[in-house]
Amino acid sequence: MQKRSGVLTFFILVFLFAGAGTAGAHGGFDAREAVCLKSYPTDPALFNETVGPYVQKIIDRYGLEEWKATLLTNEMHRHLGLWSIIGAKMGVRAREVLNAPFDQLRVVSFAGTTPPYSCLNDGLQVSTGASLGRGTISNANIGSPKAQFFHDDKGVYMRPKTEVVNAVRQAIKELSQKYGFQSQEYFRQLEKVAVKYWLEWDRSRMFEEKAMP
């Protein structure tokens, strides 16, 4: 009997754990519908040699909604960077936490206007639909990679965990030492690091999240 209840507990825990992860957590918000495209590209053959090998793995791990948001962010941001990817994951996570449909979030970014932190802003806009054009994002010019998200009477404050910030700092330091800060080769190598973290960083675990009244 004890053995059976142990097995049962195990399955309940597995079930809870799976539910808490990102794989099955896309029901809380609406899907991004294409405006001009018939569908968002998911065929690895359509991607360059840096991203191609990662396409299927990223989609399998984090789902189509995060894929679409991050893909668009990278195209809009004009390079594969770490803070822009963090911003995209943060925005998708915020929509999930607040159960918020597209274009109904209001966002306050603290990332300022100076790269690299300000790169976060592009990810935030694309992933939430709260854009400068819609007038639903504002930028408190503090120069810190944090943001607040509001929907109805709910809000959440988010910032990347220390280990995420440290990973970014370490990558930038190493690339700068090897290739010179923001040199052509720096950006080429940064793309390889960025796509690796695109796959590694789990949006449900990489942020400190604080509910706001």
Site for Zn ion, rule CB under 5 A: 81, 119
Determine contact, residues 180/150, Cβ cutoff 8 Å. Answer: no
DSSP 93: H
β partners of residue 149? 107, 156
Three-class DSSP labels, 26-73: CCCCCCCCCCCCCCCCCCHHHCCCCCHHHHHHHHHHHHHHHHHHHHHH
Cβ proximity to Zn ion: between 63 and 81 the closer is 81
Q: Shortest Cβ distance from residue 207 to Zn ion (Å)? A: 19
Closest to 154 in 3D by CA, of 100, 208, 77, 102: 100
Cβ proximity to Zn ion: between 119 and 206 the closer is 119
Cβ proximity to Zn ion: between 81 and 160 the closer is 81
- Estimate to the nearest angstrom the gap between the alpha carbon of 183 and the chain centroid: 25
Q: Shortest Cβ distance from residue 162 to Zn ion (Å)? A: 21
Q: Shortest Cβ distance from residue 190 to Zn ion (Å)? A: 9
Q: Shortest Cβ distance from residue 122 to Zn ion (Å)? A: 7
Cα distances (Å, whole numbers) of residue 15 to 1, 28, 83, 95, 115: 21, 18, 32, 23, 41
Q: Shortest Cβ distance from residue 126 to Zn ion (Å)? A: 13
Cβ proximity to Zn ion: between 63 and 91 the closer is 91
Closest residue to Zn ion: CB criterion: 119
Cβ proximity to Zn ion: between 132 and 212 the closer is 132
